[in-house]
Structures are given as structure tokens and as C-alpha cells.
Structure 1
Amino acid sequence: MTKIKDLNKSFINGEWVEGLSTRRYDILNPYDNTVISNVSLATAKQLEDTFEIAKQAQKDWAKTSADTRRQVMIKVGEFLENNREEIIEMIARETGGSLIKATVEFQLTMEIVEASANMVDEIHQMHEVPSAIDGKVNHIHRLPLGVISSISPFNFPMNLSMRTIAPAIALGNAIVHKPDVQVSFAGGIFIAAAFEYAGLPKGIFNMILTDLDEIGDGMLTNPIPRLISFTGSTPVGKHIGAIAGQNLKRVALELGGNNPFVVLSDADVDRAVDAAIFGKYIHQGQICMAINRLIVHKDLYEEFTTRFVERAKSLPYGDQLDPKTVIGPLVNERQLEKVQQIIADAKAAGVNLALEGKRFGNVLTPTIFRDVKNTDAIAQTELFSPVVSIIEAETDEDAIEIANDTMYGLSSAIFSSDMEKAEQLGLQIDSGMTHINDQTVNDGTNVPFGGNKMSGLGRFGNPWIVEEFTVTKWISLQTKYREYPF
């Protein structure tokens, strides 16, 4: 039997296929840059052919029973659970995330698969609405959308891939999926193996291992996909949105964040620090929802800053496969050098350092800037790293204004002893999600997950994702002869 680690190929039309490019790609462990595997890259022609395959396969899949689709999802979950330890280790190995992070990601993925199995009845349902025309009966049907183009990032590759793939397939669609090639196993290969095990018909799930040098905008410009699902940076999301708009394609975009963690004047500092440490440093801050700015009322500013810095100093760092590690490596050297430049620019601009991080290979230990002004460049930059800004607010209302003073609007958090007041202030933060007395990194299958402003378009979670991934159709039946005016 072929071991999963040996399935280092694209998955097209139910077959494991070598990429036809002359180029290959080394998948590296970001901690020590050892080679995990080497993959051949698929070409633009292979991608084009794959969309055609998906288009033809989807026609029959759209007609399948809810029970058939449910059984596939159940079997996918069975495969993942049977390979739990290997998957968790590979998530950590490829992404640089700690075993804690990898375990969280695995569990989120399992929840998505389970929720998708419960979503299968949402298509081929009909409901009737009244008509003002005598004898007319209106039937409203929900149908699969068609083929979906899925592009996922490096940071939570299995979770952020599966939250598109599983609902889309459960709702009768076909998928062409491109994970970030850095995380080919967690973002694509394990998922393909799961659907193969589940007996999904050929051509419904297709996974392409490639990069932009090979395919350019092929995932976006191909006329077949009806929706483009993308999680990643705002600049890329804007590019996708522009192309989709020109071609009247739907999009589901979850983009960058500059997420505020607001500590009001009546907050419990100890609990706020506990939450802030987790919300900032899980996966080294390489999460779109991670805390970017700590906004603290002036009455608590010094106490909070002192305690937060002391906690950050004590976080274990190093090899992500060590169960004790909290701070593992950033995903690659390029990402680390980008962050180091952000730090250097902030220091040159005179922003105060409360804690200066150290570099060990691709590991960067926590770096904390204090007395930051929200107008400082670092406060307006998505840091995607173990770097954070602490900003002082004059009043609780000032803290909310600072929280909103950004082009982003993904996640946010407020700490307060007055839950009712905190919720009312939370409604004033222009973000898709606000968490009271918790940190910013939260997800769920039954909540509307998504951002406002430059943080994206669309919502994941049931039933919102059902609206995204299906189309409604009106059929009227004229049961009596209708007289016309001419």
C-alpha cells in the first residue's frame, strides 16, 4: 500500500499525476530547512484540462442523492481520524506551527467535515411562494453552483482548504484546488487521499500542485469556475476581485487583518493578558485573525504592558515538533526577513521597544513595541509574526475609535467587566467578528466567519456558505389558462 508521504503528486480526475513542468519544488521544514518531499509542478495546460474534467464530472455529481454525498463526507472524516497522528505531525512539520496549533487545526478540519455532512440536504429542496397571478404556482429551487476554484494559504492549510472544499462538494459542486505548494501535504495531498478513500467519483475533487510562475492567473481567468474562493493577503484579494468582477464571477475572499484587542478601563488585567498571549502568539502570529494591536485604557496601560511583556519573555521557542514549543519558525526565510525589515523601520522611526526579539534560524522570539501611535506605520501594517504594538487609549470610546482606524475589519476583541457595555461597544467596531472577554482567533462551523472593509467579502459557516456555494432558481407553473391584454 502506498504511504501518504509518497503521494507527492497532483490529484486530477481521480488519479495521482506528475506535473509536466520541467521545474520541481522542494517542500521544506521551516525550522531546519530539511527537505520533506520534492514535487513536480503542474502546467497551465494541465490546469486548463482539469477545469474541463471538473465541469463534465459535476453534471452527474449535481444529481446525486443527499445520502450519497453524506456518506462521502462520513468516509472523509473516517480517513482523517484514522491518520490523525500523521496528519498533525505533517501540519506542524510543513507550516512551522506548534503541535498545539496543528492539533487545533486538525480538530477544526474535522468539525468542517462533520458540518458538511449535515449540509447535504440543502440542495434539491423546493419551497413554494404565492403569486398575484391567478393559477400561477411559484417553486423556488436551490441548486449546486457548478465548479469552484479554490486557493488556500500556508498558515492553516488543511482547515482553510477544507472549509471551501467540504461544503462545496457536499452541496453538489466540483472543485479545482490549488494549495500553497509550501504546504502541499497539509493543504492538498492529505485532502485528496481522504476523498479518494471515500470513493468520491473521479473529477469532482482535483488538486493541483503548482505555482504562479507556471499558471499565472489561470485559477482566476478560466471561464469554467463560477466562484473563486481565496484566503490570503489583501493585495492579492483585490487582484482576484478585479478579475472576478470583469467576468461576473462570485468570490469568497478572506483577506488580511489588523485586529484590535481592546482592554477597557474595568477589565480584569490578568485574564486579558492570558487571552492576549494566546491570541497573539499562536502560530507565531501567522494567522489572519491574530492580534495585531493591543489597545489599552490609560488606567491599565502600565500594568497590562508589564505583565504582557513578562509573559511573552517566558514563552518556549524552537523546534515546532517539541511538545513544549509555543513559538516555532516562520514559514520561510523570506517571511522572516520581511518582518525584520518592519521591525527595523519602526525602530528607525523612534517607536519604543518594550521587548526585542532574537532570531534563531527562521525562529523569531516575541517583539513588543509600546507607546505606539495608531498613525505609526507599524500600527497600520499586518504583521503576521510574533510582533505586536501596544497603544494607549484615553477613554473606552477612544479605544473603539482607534480600533476602527484601519483599512481592515476582520476580527476584534474587547475585555471588560461589563458584558452589556462591551457588546454595545463591540457593535461599534467595524469588523466581521468581535469577541467579548476572549481573544481574536476564533472560528466555528455555525457562525458567519468573514471580514468587512479590506478584510474580505462573503461569509463561511452554515447557513451562510450555502448561499455562497449554491444558486436559487425560480420555476413558475401556470396551472390555469392565463388571459393576456393583447
Structure 2
Amino acid sequence: MNMQSPNFIAVEKWTGKALFSDWQTTGAGAIEVRDPATDALLASVGLGGPADIARAAAEAKQAQRAWAKTLPTERAAILNKAADLLVANGEELIGWIMRESGSIQPKAGIEIEHGALFIRHAANLATQPTGLVLSGFDNRTNYAKRVPHGVVGVISPFNFPLVLSVRAIAAALALGNAVVHKPDPRTAISGGIIIARIFEEAGLPKGVLQIVPGGADAGEAICTDPNIAMVSFTGSARGGSKVGELCGKHLKKVQLELGGKNALIVLDDADLDIAASNAAWGAFLHQGQICMATGLILAHNSIAEALTEKLVAKASHLPAGDPSSGRVALGPIISDGQVATIQAIVDDAVAKGAKLLAGGTHDGRFYAATVLDGVKPGMRAFEEEIFGPVACIVRFASDEEAVEIANMSDYGLAAGVISAASGRALALGEQLNVGQLHINDQTVNGGPFAPFGGRGKSGNGSRIGGPADIEEFTQWMWISVKDQATAYPF
């Protein structure tokens, strides 16, 4: 899938284009895609507006009828070929993910690996049993089967652009839906065009997958378009609230996977070297720009000082800079506005009594790995999802207090508990109001085989991945059959 070869549409030819039943010009012009580390121009891609979404949705609805009738084994074969293409071209595509999203090489590699796993998981879904025979009250035959919604709208974010797009796209396609997908325009290539090309080359029929990079107006159009039956959204709680409101108003099913303020609880019997490693990974990976990032590190009073020292040492040895250099652990924050938000949260914590022990500064979009000790309720660093490389340490005196502190959050995505006694950790963890719990691990975990999602501001109780995909991307149809029609009293 060489971008300079005749069988791949070169970057220069993407200007003003988006994917509908074929590559077409969008009505809202074009947008520049830039490397957040260097501000270098990577490409110009078509920017879609409401009219483009309407056109894409209409074409998807028409194409979906035939796609739903395609044999499950044929759908699975196309999906598996798409996964093969992603892996085969992974080395080249990793570079695009790095440049477009500010990822270091290992993180970009995870996207290729997990992206392929999500597609293969979806291929397996296509051939799973999706019906059952029901008990009856007369001599008719009753059964129920899962059927596709029709057209699914997918809206994905910038931070893991490939994985957080393809996990919904592939599952929806596998189960007979067509898809209209709006990637974040800042990551339109790795979150959209790459996906379009692998499915195009894998033989997906034209019109079944519509990819339209766009802004908020395009996202709103997905939520209101009458041809789109369901919306899968990954993003902020604020954005998810708006999506949920619009989908509810238009009686659409909606699956929301939102942010988190995820607690990692380190108990007094934990191995502190291991705990510090887990805390650093959870707080600093991809500059903290992950919904499952470790937002609070709860440390028992007896070990808090030693754990903090180890975490500060790790933060001090994590250089931030251009990922293309191959010599950094942290890449750029996605935008200048987000840098300002991170700095404001750090400054607020310090002003309210927290101790800044490492970082707290930035060079342009490169924000240093930061450690704040003594974070407490009332500080923005305690309450808000930071989406930056900031480790916030909170101290506690007992297991009961740790549970109380962790459950103060309005979010409820992920939590981790580290202890030498896994039974003790599990007993504590099961009291936490989260959608995913990791014993003796940090909070950043994901994959295709588990139902992923959260509570409260982290979602609407829906899940994506594993056994949840059939539930989310299909709906029940009850069918009853009589051998012949019979008369009624009227």
C-alpha cells in the first residue's frame, strides 16, 4: 500500500476529496493536516459539512441493503483481508500515525497491532449465532434474531485515531450495517483515509463505508440525519452530552465512550518500584492524552513519600520532543489550546496548595512530565480530566478512605489497584464505580475482546468490544410463524 504507487491515491490527490461510494469532492472545501510536533503540512483533505453527511448517509442506506444480504462468511473474508492489509503495510502507516497524532513509535505500533485485532474480532462476529428459538403460547413457531440497525454513524477522536475508529467501524460492518464515519479532521488520514483504503482494497462494496472528515457541524448532522439509525461516539463528556441529546431527540440508539478521571490505588504492601512504573505508564503514555489515563494516583500514607520520589525520578527522565527523532518518550500535545488548559490546571493546583515536584512547564506543545503531590478535592487537578502528562498524587489512610476518594469522581471509566495481596485488592476494587477494573495493573488497558465503557460522565452504560458488539450494533427482531392464517373473533 505504497502511498506513491499507482494503486494508492497519493497524498497530493487527496486535496478536496472524501470517500462516498467513490472518492468525491466535498462541499465544505479542504482542511490542512499538520504535524503537531513541527507544524509541517502533511496533506490537504476534503472537509465535509452537513450536505456531505446527508449525501453519504443516503448512499450508505442504499448500499446497506445488499451488504446485509451478503453471506456472513463473505463479510468475514473481506474483514480479514482488511486486517491483513493493515499489518502488511504497518511499517509505512506507523509513520503517518506518528506524524499526524504526535505519537511515539511504540504507541503508533500498538495502533496497528490492536487495529488488526479489532478487525479480526469483528470478522469472527460476522459468523456468530445471533438468534434463538422462543417459547410459545400456541402452535406457532416463535424465534428472535439480531438484525443490523441499517446505517451506523461513527464519530472518533484524535488521540488513538486508527483504533478508536476501526473498533466501531469493523464491528458495525461485520454485523451487516453500513457506516458513515467522521474522523477528527486533525487526524483525517490515520483516522479515516487509511481505513478507507484498506477496506477498499479488501473488496468492501462501494457505498458501504462512507468516510467524511468534518467538524462539529458534520457531527451534528450525523446525529440528526434520518438515514442514520445509530451513532457510536468516542470523545469528551461535553461532546458526548451533546451527541446524546441530539440522538435522543431524534430517537436514535447511541453508544457513548467518553472521558475518565481514573484512579490508580497503591496499597501499603505494594512493591513501590513496580507501582511507580505502573503510575508513570498510566499517567504519561501518549502525553496523558488517553481516556483511560491514570488521572489520580492514590497512595497510602505509609508509602506515599517513597512512591512519590520514585515517580519524580521517572518523570525527570522522560524527555518530550518530536517523535520522529526517535529519542523522546513524550510527543507533542495536540494543540496550543490544550497546552493552555493543562497549564491552567497545574497552576490552579499549585495555587491551592499542591506541591509541584517535577515538570509544570512546556516548550511550545511539548509539555514536560509533571508530578503534583498533595492534590485534593476542590482543585481542578482532582476534579477534571487533564488530557496531559500530569501525575496527581492523593494520599489516603485506609482502604475505606481510598474507596471514598476514588468514588468522588463524576467519571467512572477505569481503575487499578496494586497490592501484594490480590484478594485484598479485588475486594477494594469491586467497591469502585467504574466500568473496568484492573488488579495489579495501571488504568490504560484496552483490546477487542472485552466490553469497554464506563459509568457516569464516562458513558451512558453502553459498551464496545467483545460480547457487547453484537448487543450494540444489532437489534432484536421477533418472528412468529403459523402454518396458515386463522380467523379471529372480530
TM-score between both structures, scaled by the size of structure 2: 0.95
Distance (Å, rounded) in 2 between the aligned partners of 1:372 and 1:481? 71
Residue 484 of structure 1 and its aligned partner are, at CA, apart by 5.7
* Letter of the structure 2 residue corresponding to residue 16 of structure 1: W
Cα distance change, pair 7–229 in 1 and its aligned pair in 2 (3 A): farther
Does residue 1:223 correspond to 2:230, yes or no? no
Instruction: Say which SS state the counterpart of residue 239 (structure 1) adopts.
Output: helix
Q: What does residue 258 of structure 1 align with?
A: 261
Distance change >3 Å, CA 298–CA 317, structure 1 → 2: same
Q: Does residue 288 of the first structure (1) align with residue 301 of the second (2)? A: no
2:27 alignment partner AA: L
**1:373: how far off?**
1.2
2:320 aligns with 317
Could you tell me how far 1:347 is from its partner in structure 2?
A: 2.4
Where does the alignment leave 5 or more consecutive residues of structure 1 unmatched? none
Q: State the Cα distance separating 1:357 from its structure 2 match.
A: 3.0
**2:37 paired with 1:24:** no
Aligned-pair distance for 1:348? 2.5
SS of residue in 2 equivalent to 1:118 = helix
Query: Which residue of the other structure, out of 89, 99, 110, is the alignment partner of 2:116?
Result: 110
Instruction: Give the alignment's Cα RMSD to 1 decimal.
Output: 1.7
Deviation at 1:17, TM superposition (A): 1.8
Task: Say yes or no: does 1:173 pair with 2:149.
Answer: no
Q: How does 1:444-459 map to 2 (within 5 A)?
A: 444-457=447-460, 458-459=462-463
The Cα of 1:477 is off from its aligned counterpart by 1.6
Of 72, 82, 86, the match for 1:80:
86
Residue aligned with 2:324, SS:
coil
- Specify the SS of the correspondent of 1:456: coil
The corresponding residue for 2:342 is 339
Q: Deviations over 1:419-459 (max 9, x none)?
A: 11211211110000010111101012111111011100211
- In structure 2, the partner of 1:160 is 164
Aligned AA for 1:104? I
Contact 1:374 1:391 in 2 (8 A): no
User: Distance in 2 between the 1:206 and 1:35 partners?
Assistant: 25
Distance in 1 separating the partners of 2:430 and 2:95: 39
Residue 299 of structure 1, aligned match among 263, 288, 302:
302
| Alpha-carbon distance in 2 for matches of 1:223, 1:80 | 33
Residue matched to 2:375: 372
Number of the residue aligned with 2:359: 356
Residue in 2 that maps onto 1:15: 22
- In structure 2, the partner of 1:94 is 100
How far residue 480 of structure 1 moved from its aligned partner, in angstroms, is 7.5
Q: Name structure 2 gaps, 5 residues minimum.
A: 1-5
Preserved CA contact (<8 Å) 1:11 1:192:
no
Q: Are the aligned partners of 2:87 and 2:113 in contact in 1 as well (CA < 8 Å)?
A: no
- 1:485 deviates by 6.5
1:141 pairs with 2:145: yes
* Residue 237 in structure 1 maps to residue 240 in structure 2: yes
Pair 1:425–1:7, CA change in 2 (3 A): farther
Asked whether the equivalents of residues 182 and 218 of structure 2 are also in contact (C-alpha less than 8 Å), the reply is no
Give the C-alpha shift of residue 482 in structure 1. Answer: 6.3
SS at match of 2:127: helix
Change in 2 beyond 3 A, CA 1:406/1:38: same
Gap change, CA 1:186 and 1:420, over 3 Å in 2: same
Task: Report SS of the residue matched to 2:299.
Answer: strand
Within the candidate set 251, 256, 279, 1:248 is matched to 251
What's the CA shift string for 1:55-83, capped at 9, x where partnerless?
A: 11101111110121011102211221221
Q: Which structure exhibits the higher relative contact order, with contacts defined as CA atoms closer than 8 Å and separated by 6 or more residues?
A: 1
Amino acid at match of 2:481: L
1:63 maps to which residue?
69
Q: Distance in 1 between matches of 2:427 and 2:143?
A: 41
Q: Distance in 2 between matches of 1:200 and 1:344?
A: 50
Matched residues in 2 for 1:465 and 1:69: separation?
16
Check the 8 A contact 2:358/2:372 in 1, yes or no: yes
Question: How far 1:339 sits from its partner (Å)?
Answer: 1.2
Deviates more, 1:420-429 or 1:401-410: 420-429
Q: Which amino acid in 1 is paired with 2:136?
A: S
1: CA distance, partners of 2:40 / 2:293: 28
CA 4–402 in structure 1, closer or farther in 2 if over 3 Å, else same: farther
Aligned counterparts of 1:167 and 1:6: Cα–Cα separation in 2:
31
Post-superposition offset of 1:377: 2.3
2:216 is aligned with 1:209: no
Distance 1:216 1:244 in 2: 11
1:351 is displaced (CA, Å) by: 2.2
2:321, 2:332 within 8 Å by CA — same for their partners in 1? Answer: yes
Cα 1:229/1:7, change in 2 over 3 Å: farther
Q: Does 1:385 align with 2:388?
A: yes
The letter of the residue matching 1:189 is I
1:18–1:41 contact (8 Å) kept in structure 2 = no
